[in-house]
Structure 1
């Protein structure tokens, strides 16, 4: 089971929390009111909230996390690591009451998807980081991830891992290549293709397939894409809209092509080499799930220190070798390539962990939806998907 498939199962009951999270009224916190007295110097600890299966573990002792253990030994900082984030909206609903009421969440470090990071940044619910205390971040962060529209200069967020939303297909059973998003709409795929149900996960690739520049997409681009989807749904071309449970149908051949995450497909290819992943000629979205420090966190300096530790290329390489997502530290590639272990060294040449220069030229990060745009777009999307 992939990490995202597990999250789909864990998050199945998160609907009420998601609605609660979306309904929280804006309660902006000004920059001068976001920091608490930092206890890092005298209190060597921090609380780190992350997603399940999103850190390296010891194969013989699954409860051990080698890179995190190394950080604790080197720094003397004790880390309480929790795997409590199963869904972006659910977690937002969980901690938003404290944040909107200007209270400590009890967490010094959280990891959420960039489209959700945008909400925290817009509300002023996360603190600006001290980059002078993070030389490895400044030196090694992938240039493609440095300037998201919601957080110019990455002042409030640092990618934990990254990934690509592209197209996966069963090459042997389909009997042809897929190179463009439009190839999904050919007659031989009628009823055998799936798309992601989540608007934030799906819309960018579909708009790119129509030639839109997603770094500055417009309402017309969005409506052109949704009009296209309505036609495809009426013709029953799309088998269904999925969560992260597309893997089983793709592997069995019930689905021949689908919108997919790069990290899932790496794991699937290990068992089924006939599965291909493609970044369409028109482009695909490069996304990230990022580290942030909530308002009033009590151990900000310790959190910044941990973030910078994971941007050491040798540490980033260990994490990438374990979780198999796109590594936000390109310098980690050389570390993996020099490994004496053949399988580890081969990861350095996997374009789904370290995209090639040619592939990188086709990757883009979509601009975030504004708070004003989101309700209308989400209503239109959900009517098509059937949510």
Structure 2
């Protein structure tokens, strides 16, 4: 969830408020898990209840929900997407493409009420991070794909990605992109190189730094910057880092916690340094060569995001065809 700490209401932020800001969607996830205990039908959807009558053959369209800056655009016209245009021309399928996913937890909160109540989401294809994909697969909220319709996926999918722990055999997901979560900054305005996480806390960057709102992403970077092996972190490590972040928030050094909207902050100059995704920065650099991306010396998180077809999607075959086209 994209949020900022409400300064007008308090001069300081509590541990509970901080965790709410960082992991806004966690409350939604917890609520989903608690439904069965409150007399509400369990959120899990059985395999036989996930498919709707597919309209792909007579309705040549599909709705594709993605993140900003996550598909190719024409150099001279950013509203044009050459690969999608080519797919539409080749197949006659009209793709309704939306850049509505700003944050994993925020998007989960947006569509989970429909999915848990066995209702259509209005989307045929979505892209979210693998750790969130695991939640969707576990809850039975996505449909198994028909690999007979996806010969390119079968042939070209990297063997190392064919059977992740959350989706053995890749029945429900197909990788879309992968990258690194690191630090982006405006080298000209900062006036020096940023090499370490600790460089974010320099006095002249006060109020010009943002972190990602995903608790796992923000704390992975910060814990590594504090010398912690994130494969073996402890409760003491976590609480120590909470104390540090609280201090940075209360002093207004951290401007806010963001989803993908850090892109606008960095482009406008409102923010000079931020936690960022490598793929976004590559696209930003095309318009502003002063923007740099760095993997901190302490290390960074490698991530992947995958395509899924949500339950009751009305154009599943069209979605499967688009996935195979990109492979």
TM-score under structure 1 length normalisation: 0.60
- The residue that corresponds to 2:60 in the other structure is 45
Q: 1:307 to 1:115 in 2, by over 3 A?
A: same
Quick check: 1:195–1:238 contact (8 Å CA) kept in 2? Answer: no
State the partner residue of 1:204: 220
Q: Partners in 1 of 2:284 and 2:77 — Cα distance? A: 24
Rounded to whole Å, the distance in 1 between the matches of 2:179 and 2:243 is: 27
Residue 132 of structure 1 and its aligned partner are, at CA, apart by: 4.5
1:28 is aligned, of 31, 41, 44, to 44
Per mean C-alpha deviation after superposition, the further-off stretch among 212-221 and 264-273 is 212-221
In the alignment, what sits opposite 2:316? 300
Are 1:193 and 1:237, in contact at CA under 8 Å, matched by a contact in 2? no
Gap change, CA 1:280 and 1:295, over 3 Å in 2: same
> Pairwise mapping of residues 111-260 of structure 1 onto structure 2 (< 5 A)?
111-141=127-157, 150-185=166-201, 189=205, 193-214=209-230, 219-233=235-249, 236=251, 238-243=253-258, 244=260, 246=262, 250=266, 255-260=271-276
The answer to whether the aligner puts 1:283 opposite 2:303 as a matched pair is no
Q: Which runs of 5+ in 2 are unaligned?
A: 4-20, 36-41
CA RMSD in angstroms, aligned pairs only: 4.0
- Structure 1 residues 253-284: Cα deviation after superposition (integer angstroms, max 9, x where no partner): 77543222324433443454333210112322
**What is the count of residue pairs matched by the alignment?**
296
Q: Deviation digits for residues 149-207 of structure 1, max 9, x if unmatched?
A: 54345432223334432112333454543322233345665555432344354222223
8 Å CA contact retained: 2:181, 2:277 = yes
Counterpart Cα distance in 2 of 1:20 and 1:226: 18
Distance 1:271 1:96, change over 3 A: closer
Say if 2:248 and 2:254, in contact at 8 Å, map to a contact too: no
Deviations 1:8-66, CA, capped at 9 Å, x for gaps: 79xxxxx9x979955454510123432345555x4463422324664445567776543
3-state SS of paired residue (2:118): coil
Distance 2:139 2:202 in 1: 43
Q: TM (normalized to structure 2)?
A: 0.69
Instruction: Name the SS of the counterpart of 1:119 in structure 2.
Output: helix
**Matched position secondary structure for 1:156:** coil
Q: Is the 8 A contact 2:2 2:213 kept in 1?
A: no
